[in-house]
Structure 1
Amino acid sequence: MIRVVVVDDEALVRSGFALILNAAEDIEVVAAVPGGQALAAVAAGAPDLVLLDVRMPDVDGLTLLGQLRSLPEPPVVAMLTTFDSDEYIAQALRRGACGYLLKDTDPDDLAPLVRSLVRGAVVLAPKIVPAVVDGYLRHHHDPGPDTERAAGLSERERTVLLLLAQGLSNIEIGRQLHLSTGTVKDHVSALLAKLVVTNRVQAALWAQRAGLLDEDTAP
């Protein structure tokens, strides 16, 4: 079972997400709580994934994200928002969020998105992708370090990075490259270390910034 904690200040949103996700046979919402109860709920429920509201009156979502990512065994965290132009997007991704979903996500899409997040895929609501890329590029003008690091990537590392940037999970990358999931996981971990980034979203944005997505290096 995929264990999920939903953190949102609105009881209606919490109950709605819990109802939709609990209808899936392989997903269990172990807690649906406001921000002030999030850390206790995560400690008690040991979730695989936390769906975390960005804006809450009782606690700052970004601060809570940092606390969750600092745990010894941190869960995957995806941010929830009502706005497709949220100014917190870049900050959340830099602090380790692995996804950014809108609260009006189609209910039929929610369970598949949760599965993708837990498998290691990058999940961004389509409406916010331009804001993510534009915001990241706007605040990172110096291409020097990226160009240098890009030149140091092996052909295999570039291929894995491009597939990762397309949103593929480790399992899906393994299928395309005929590698085991464990081998792909090792490649991704090595990539994150080499690129000096903390998660797959940042790696995907790094690839965009370095211009790799414009190159014809697909396998």
Structure 2
Amino acid sequence: MIRVVVVDDEALVRSGFELILNAADGIEVVATAVGADAVAVVRDRRPDVVLLDIRMPDVDGLTVLQRLRALRPPPTVAMLTTFDTDEYVLTALHSGAAGFLLKDTEPGQLAQLVRSLAAGGVVMSPKASRTLLTARPGAGSSGEEAARVERLSDRERDVLVLIADGLSNPDIGNRLHLSAATVKDHVSAILAKLRVAGRVQAALLAQRAGLLDDGQGGQGRAQGSRQGSTQGSGS
């Protein structure tokens, strides 16, 4: 059972998401909360996934995100918003969010996205996906970032490209003929070598360093955008 906490200042949003997700197989909303209570509720209920409003009157969603990321172990957090704004996409993802969803996400798709988040995936609304995936590769990259990518083995680079391409760990294993345990080891090594906290940051670093500018994985990224989400792997 995937345990979910919904954090939003609007009671209608909280109850709506709770109703939709509790009707889905294998998902349970264990609590809902406003921003000021979010950290205490998450610490008490220990959810697998937190759906967190990015704009709340009592406390900023990005501030709550930082506090949730400091918990041990931290939950997987996806940001909820009515604004598909580039600034918030990048800020939230660089701050450790594993996803960025619009509040008007189709009910039939919501449960699927939550399952992907629980499996360690990355999910984003279509415009957020396009913002990241159509950014000029190598833009803003530094020699230090490129040097970190150079530390990866050929196989680790293959795995990183597939992470950015939207494949889950099982899918990466199937594509590269590797076991799930081996993929997990590769993901852990990639995060350590790149000195990043999660798969989103690793994919963004790879983008800035130009690793994705060779046509690898383009089909999967395009598919992710068409489906309305980009899903990454988990370790």
TM-score normalised by L of structure 1? 0.91
- Structure 2 residue runs of 5 or longer lacking an equivalent are 218-235
Q: Which moved more, 1:16-25 or 1:165-174?
A: 165-174
Q: CA–CA distance in 2 between the matches of 1:76 and 1:109? A: 18
Q: CA–CA distance in 2 between the matches of 1:171 and 1:119? A: 10
Aligned partner letter, 1:208: Q
Q: CA–CA distance in 2 between the matches of 1:14 and 1:86? A: 25
Pair 1:106-2:140 in alignment:
no
Aligned counterpart, 1:194 = 193
Shift in alpha-carbon separation, 1:207–1:86, aligned structure 2, 3 A = closer
Pair 1:28-2:25 in alignment:
no
User: Are 1:5 and 1:49, in contact at CA under 8 Å, matched by a contact in 2?
Assistant: yes
SS for the counterpart of 2:87 is: coil
Shift in alpha-carbon separation, 1:38–1:46, aligned structure 2, 3 A = same
Aligned counterpart, 1:48 = 48
User: Are 1:54 and 1:79, in contact at CA under 8 Å, matched by a contact in 2?
Assistant: yes
Aligned counterpart, 1:141 = 140
Report sequence identity in percent.
Answer: 62
Aligned counterpart, 2:94 = 94
Deviation at 1:66, TM superposition (A): 0.7
Deviation at 1:149, TM superposition (A): 2.4
User: Are 2:156 and 2:186, in contact at CA under 8 Å, matched by a contact in 1?
Assistant: yes
- Structure 1 residue runs of 5 or longer lacking an equivalent are none
Shift in alpha-carbon separation, 1:148–1:10, aligned structure 2, 3 A = same
Deviation at 1:143, TM superposition (A): 2.8
Q: CA–CA distance in 2 between the matches of 1:152 and 1:7? A: 39
Deviation at 1:146, TM superposition (A): 2.5
Deviation at 1:92, TM superposition (A): 1.4
Deviation at 1:137, TM superposition (A): 7.6
Q: Which runs of 4+ in 1 moved over 6 A?
A: 134-138
Deviation at 1:4, TM superposition (A): 0.2
User: Are 1:90 and 1:136, in contact at CA under 8 Å, matched by a contact in 2?
Assistant: no
Aligned length, in residue pairs: 217
Aligned partner letter, 1:172: D
Q: CA–CA distance in 1 between the matches of 2:132 and 2:62? A: 16
Q: CA–CA distance in 1 between the matches of 2:193 and 2:7? A: 33
Higher relative contact order (CA 8 A, sep 6+): 2
Deviation at 1:198, TM superposition (A): 1.2
Deviation at 1:31, TM superposition (A): 0.6
Q: What do you get for the CA RMSD once the two structures are aligned?
A: 2.0
User: Are 1:7 and 1:50, in contact at CA under 8 Å, matched by a contact in 2?
Assistant: yes
Deviation at 1:167, TM superposition (A): 1.6
Shift in alpha-carbon separation, 1:62–1:184, aligned structure 2, 3 A = same
Alignment of 1:160-175 (within 5 A): 160-175=159-174
Aligned partner letter, 1:183: T
Pair 1:151-2:150 in alignment:
yes
Q: Which deviations, in whole Å up to 9, do the C-alpha atoms of 1:53-108 show, x marking residues without a partner?
A: 00000111111111111111111011111111153222211221111111111111
Pair 1:73-2:73 in alignment:
yes
Q: CA–CA distance in 1 between the matches of 2:80 and 2:22? A: 18
Q: CA–CA distance in 1 between the matches of 2:114 and 2:174? A: 20
Aligned counterpart, 2:202 = 203
Q: Which moved more, 1:87-96 or 1:141-150?
A: 141-150
Q: Which moved more, 1:56-65 or 1:175-184?
A: 175-184
